[in-house]
Amino acid sequence: MEKKENNNSLTKWIVLGVMCLITVLGFVFSGALFGVTSVFYNNVSQNVFINTLYQKIPALIKTVQIVTIAYLINWGLKVLLKKVLAKSNRGKTVTTIVTSFLKYFIAIVALLLILSAWGADTRSLIASAGILGLVIGLGAQSMIADILAGIFIVFESEFQVGDIIVIDGWRGTVSEIGIRTTKIVDWGGNIKIVNNSAISSVINQTKELSLAVAYISIEYGQSIPEVEIIIKNNLERMKNAIPEIIEGPFYKGVDSLAASSVDLMFMARCKEADLYGVQRAMRRELKLIFDENGINVPFPQVTISHLEEKDPADHSKREKREAEAFAAEQRELSKDMENKPK
């Protein structure tokens, strides 16, 4: 695959080099190639068809010149804009839509020049049809809608290049906002291309911090106060072990009483780009903490056993009060996490 891409790139550069050479030679020898004194206006054959083709060589050379110059202008402006503007996500967004607009503008101008080189009266064409009539005649109503939608996206800052957004259930990073389309790349490298006018609703997950949620289960026979004291003593360790966490982590308490386990919930705030990594890291740290302190994480099994009742007196009143105070403190610190909009 890589070899094929290298071959394609080499072919592209060779073709571009040949076109540049033809362009330069066309300007150097313009007096001999173009105009009424052109060598191509001499008859070379008794066949009218061959003479006609021979006389079209200047138009072909002009076409190569126009295409080459248009390509180089487009490439140069794109590089210049990236150097000047693309220093932030906002700048990258403006750069992509401006370069997209310039690409279409240059292509239209080049097309008109090529038609003129082949003898078409472009002035009469534009004057008779009118620019608006020409655009509508080409069925470009949807293109106008895409252009306007793209402009509104950029100037209203609905999202920018680099933001993580969700459109129609597709979650990914905005890689480009063009004058007609927006490109979104998901975690697997797949690219979704959406017409700007078709974006009716979007969820921008980059504007605010995201909520990372992790669950871990303990056995019914495990003392919750004991577990909560262990959690309290190790929350700072979790924070230090996961530098991507910006707020938290917080212990939210018992989330559910499942068939064979008591499920505990933990929350933290982080950047959307780090969300899944933070959740995995939180689960890992919780498992390590539980293993080190002899807290068993239940798993599906069929056993016949006699549950030994523990004497409530085994736990001091001070330990219970400490656990209850910790659980209440954690609920208070993270009370807005589940209801606060992103």
**pLDDT tens for each residue of 85-131:** 766 666 677 777 777 778 878 887 888 888 777 776 666 666 655 55
* 200 within 8 A of 337, measured Cβ to Cβ: no
Q: What are phi and psi of 323, to 5 degrees?
A: -65, -45
* 152 within 8 A of 159, measured Cβ to Cβ: no
For the whole model, what pTM was predicted? 0.51
Instruction: Give the integer Cα–Cα distance in Å for 258 and 189.
Output: 37
DSSP letter, residue 158: S
Check pLDDT > 60 for residue 188: yes
Check pLDDT > 80 for residue 313: no
Angle between the N-to-C axes of helices 48-55 and 57-84, in degrees from 0 to 180, rounded to the nearest 10: 30
DSSP letter, residue 206: S
Check pLDDT > 80 for residue 164: yes
Upstream peptide bond of 249 is cis (omega within 30 degrees of 0): yes
Percentage, residues of the chain above pLDDT 90 = 12
* 155 within 8 A of 93, measured Cβ to Cβ: no
Mean pLDDT of 139-168: 76
Residue 310: how many other CB atoms lie within 10 Å: 10
- Per-state percent for the chain, helix, strand, coil, to nearest 5: 55, 15, 30
Per-range mean pLDDT, top range of 22-31, 202-211, 219-228, 307-316: 219-228
Structure tokens at 188: 């697997």
Q: What is the mean pLDDT of the chain?
A: 77
Confidence of residue 155 (pLDDT cuts 50, 70, 90): confident
* 66 within 8 A of 113, measured Cβ to Cβ: yes
Confidence of residue 133 (pLDDT cuts 50, 70, 90): low
Instruction: Give the integer Cα–Cα distance in Å for 150 and 158.
Output: 10
Confidence of residue 267 (pLDDT cuts 50, 70, 90): very high
Mean pLDDT of 6-23: 76
Structural domains for the chain: 2-139 (no CATH), 158-204 (2.30.30.60), 210-333 (3.30.70.100)
Check pLDDT > 70 for residue 159: yes
> 178 forms bridges with which residues in the sheet?
none
